[in-house]
Structure 1
Amino acid sequence: MIEAARRKAPPASRPHLRGVAEGIIFEDVQFRRADRQVLAISELRLAERRVGLIGDNGSGKSTMLRLMNGLLLPTRGCVEVEGLGTVRHRKDLPAKVGFLFQNPDHQLIFPTVAEEVAFGPAERGISARQARQQAIALLERHGCGEWADRNVNELSGGQKQLVCILALLATEPSILLMDEPFSSLDLPTRLLLYRRIMALPEQVVMATHDFELLPAFDRVIWLDEGRIRLDGRPAEVLPAYRAHATIVGAGDALTS
């Protein structure tokens, strides 16, 4: 099954990428820690509206996301986001890319919801009063206007994650990167947050183990030991990964 899916999927390589201003581009990218290679991607362009990243723990998903927003810089090669190289234009990336951490408590820094959502606009130079007005208007558009003066510590996990997303949207990025955004949420909350994310106009690149949420994505990339194992439509990639996981799980059971 894996071999059949590999033959169907489009190749990971995307020739003639340089100079393309839209989407995210990897060219001859390697990332190393000490003497260990963590990620190696020769050529790749991500222009689809919804892209999922899957793979075993330690396969390179989080590293790949962090290379896209400049939290990590490539050891070799070039990563470009809408024409901006992440090394040369690192300080300009927050205007293009929003990053959602797995744990919202690692992202929330202000005591109230309105302050959290207003921070990004205020950092872009508008007055504190105008930033608060924009924040409240954004909260109201998403049905959360009554949260404005609530302490973030009073919110549920799903509410905190939504506030983090709205705080990113307040900076008007064109790309949202999400690292396991549903991992600590119960199923109803995950489904509600998923529907909100799918309705956003921004490009979303999401690393996740929630495969039941991926069939509606445009593209799924399976990372294996820091390399692209398979790249294509969800209907092609997800069954191949499940088959791999079943084989690996059966092998582990036999040796335990």
Structure 2
Amino acid sequence: MIQLAGAGVTVALPASGEQRTRVLLHPTTLDLGERRVAVIGANGSGKSTLLRLLNGLVLPTTGQVVVDGLDTDHDGREVRRRVGFVFTDPLSQLVLATPADDVELSLRPFLRDRSARRAEAHRLLEERGLGHVAEQSVYDLSGGERQLVALTSVLAARPRIVVADEPTTLLDLRNRDLVRAALAGLEQQVVLATHDLDLAAEADRVLVVDSGRVVADGTPSEAIPAYLRVVRP
């Protein structure tokens, strides 16, 4: 269970003279227990800030965020073990030369033997249809392949929850569908931000974020029309 209790984020802005601040997310209270939660909103609305609160990439300046009873501020390392994060641009999280290298890195806490880790990395990539690119440079992969490698690397760390920030935004139609299918098939709870309303419609619950506030919260049939009213007044 993910719980936000008055969690908000305010940042200081560089300025001469009087200090100025900007609210990225107003104090927000939510209990997120559904298997699939989508977060939709315009660029700059606060979606990414909300998602980054969920695994401690961003800490609240007011209130708190608790995951399975663990506070992201005080128990950040354990929260990040439980909550895997998939970025919009996979190159921002693929840190090693090849897919096999990257997945193997995620496996280190679980497999001490290097040959066993390598074999397991290849097995996991094969499961995602990526066995043929396991030893290629990540820079030679398509956008969809990179995103699937990033997802595989996150899953190799055995998280209980997967948070994905616009995981299909940079992809063509074919690769978008591959990533959507991969996310739909996960056993873990998935919380994702997206501009893809078809993807949002597949969620159990949809949050609409506007100007740093959750302005609608409900089923897709309730929340998506509310989002459209926000962006098309």
> 1:239 deviation in Å?
1.2
* Contact map agreement 2:27 2:63 (CA 8 A) in 1: no
1:143 and 1:38 map into 2 onto residues whose CA distance is: 38
Q: Which runs of 5+ in 2 are unaligned?
A: 13-20
Q: Does 1:243 align with 2:221?
A: no
Q: How does 1:100-179 map to 2 (within 5 A)?
A: 100-124=86-110, 126-179=112-165
CA 1:106 to 1:42, structure 2 compared with 1: closer, same or farther past 3 Å?
closer
Q: Which residue matches 2:173?
A: 187
> 1:174 deviation in Å?
0.8
> 1:125 deviation in Å?
6.1
* Contact map agreement 2:128 2:148 (CA 8 A) in 1: no
**Alpha-carbon RMSD:** 1.3
* Aligned residue identity for 2:202: A
* Contact map agreement 1:41 1:228 (CA 8 A) in 2: no
> Normalised by the size of structure 2, how large is the TM-score?
0.92
* Contact map agreement 1:221 1:232 (CA 8 A) in 2: yes
Q: Which runs of 5+ in 1 are unaligned?
A: 1-22, 248-256
* Contact map agreement 2:46 2:210 (CA 8 A) in 1: yes
Q: Does 1:65 align with 2:43?
A: no
Q: Does 1:215 align with 2:193?
A: no
1:94 and 1:151 map into 2 onto residues whose CA distance is: 27
> 1:124 deviation in Å?
4.9
> 1:244 deviation in Å?
2.4
SS at structure 2 position matched to 1:37: strand
Q: Does 1:232 align with 2:214?
A: no
* Contact map agreement 1:98 1:168 (CA 8 A) in 2: yes
> Normalised by the size of structure 1, how large is the TM-score?
0.84
> 1:62 deviation in Å?
0.4
Deviation string, structure 1 residues 177-197 (Cα, Å, up to 9, x no partner): 111111111112111210111
Structure 1's consecutive aligned runs of 4 or more residues displaced over 4 angstroms after TM superposition are none
> 1:94 deviation in Å?
2.4
SS at structure 2 position matched to 1:105: helix
Q: Which residue matches 2:17?
A: none
The alignment covers a number of residue pairs equal to 225
Deviation string, structure 1 residues 146-199 (Cα, Å, up to 9, x no partner): 222111111000000000000001001011111111111111211121011101
Sequence identity percentage? 42
Q: Does 1:29 align with 2:7?
A: yes
1:42 and 1:94 map into 2 onto residues whose CA distance is: 21
1:146 and 1:238 map into 2 onto residues whose CA distance is: 39
* Contact map agreement 2:56 2:80 (CA 8 A) in 1: no
> 1:200 deviation in Å?
0.8
2:111 and 2:129 map into 1 onto residues whose CA distance is: 26
2:58 and 2:209 map into 1 onto residues whose CA distance is: 18
Q: Which residue matches 1:250?
A: none
* Contact map agreement 2:9 2:27 (CA 8 A) in 1: no
* Aligned residue identity for 1:24: I
1:143 and 1:37 map into 2 onto residues whose CA distance is: 42
* Contact map agreement 1:222 1:230 (CA 8 A) in 2: yes
Q: Which residue matches 2:74?
A: 88
